[in-house]
Amino acid sequence: MAAERASDSDEQLVARARRGDKRAFDLLVLKYQYRLQALVARYFQDPEEIADVVQDTFVKAYRALGNFRGESRFYTWLYRIAVNTAKNHLVARSRRPPADDVEVESAEQLDAGDSLRDVDSPENLFLRDELEELVLRAIDALPEELRTALTLREFEGLSYEEIAKAMGCPVGTVRSRIFRAREAIDREVRRLTGEGVR
């Protein structure tokens, strides 16, 4: 029906869900399930585990809707629940995040597909894949707080203010972490490609 428009704002959908409109919450699930899957795939490789964590995240979010005050975007709030849920699942299994925890999200966000197809010679594809692999390894090697700040900015598209709320630190700290993360990645890529080492 027209009342369940995908264009409804998150705030409107949250308000309706709080009043018991389950379809409104279903729209929020449809809107964010793939982003959460990409996020959770940084912690798990097994599709069933990813699905379990995403489902748990939405269940927790639904039960905690009364705690959402609208001080940040709904997705920022949901992101925090997803990260905590993923970490709790890992702790319960005495495991750590996999080495290639940014890969799925990176592939989703970078989606170069159609725009580059015409200029993609096999050599260019190989070089681009190699460079992407170097960058992903450099990101993975970052300390957690730098990796998280950079991921929220570059892959999730959050503002500095939203990242500060999600990470519970001042905006200046977020800017510093992202700057240090980018510097570290640049340094590592240069080292691995042999640039500036002659």
CATH at 31: 1.10.1740.10
139 with 149: CB under 8 angstroms?
no
Higher pLDDT, 100 or 60: 60
Range of the domain at 52: 1-98
Residue type, position 34, single letter: Y
Residue with the two structure tokens 């993923």: 86
Q: Domain check: are 111 and 64 in the same one? A: no
pLDDT tier at 95, thresholds 50, 70, 90: low
Q: Domain check: are 104 and 94 in the same one? A: no
Q: Domain check: are 62 and 130 in the same one? A: no
Q: Domain check: are 65 and 151 in the same one? A: no
The mean per-residue pLDDT over the stretch 26-31 comes to 85
The mean per-residue pLDDT over the stretch 167-183 comes to 89
Residue with the two structure tokens 């200029």: 119
Highest mean pLDDT among 39-53, 104-118, 164-178: 164-178
Q: Which of 156, 191, 194 is nearest to 77 (CA)?
A: 156
CATH of the domain at 118: 1.10.10.10
Distance of CA 141 to the CA centre of its chain: 17
The mean per-residue pLDDT over the stretch 86-99 comes to 70
User: Looking at residue 170, what is its pLDDT?
Assistant: 93
Q: Domain check: are 61 and 115 in the same one? A: no
Q: Domain check: are 158 and 121 in the same one? A: yes
Is residue 7 predicted with pLDDT exceeding 60?
Answer: no
Q: Domain check: are 106 and 92 in the same one? A: no
**Three-state secondary-structure class, residue 68:** coil
Number of compact structural domains in the chain:
2
Q: Domain check: are 43 and 63 in the same one? A: yes
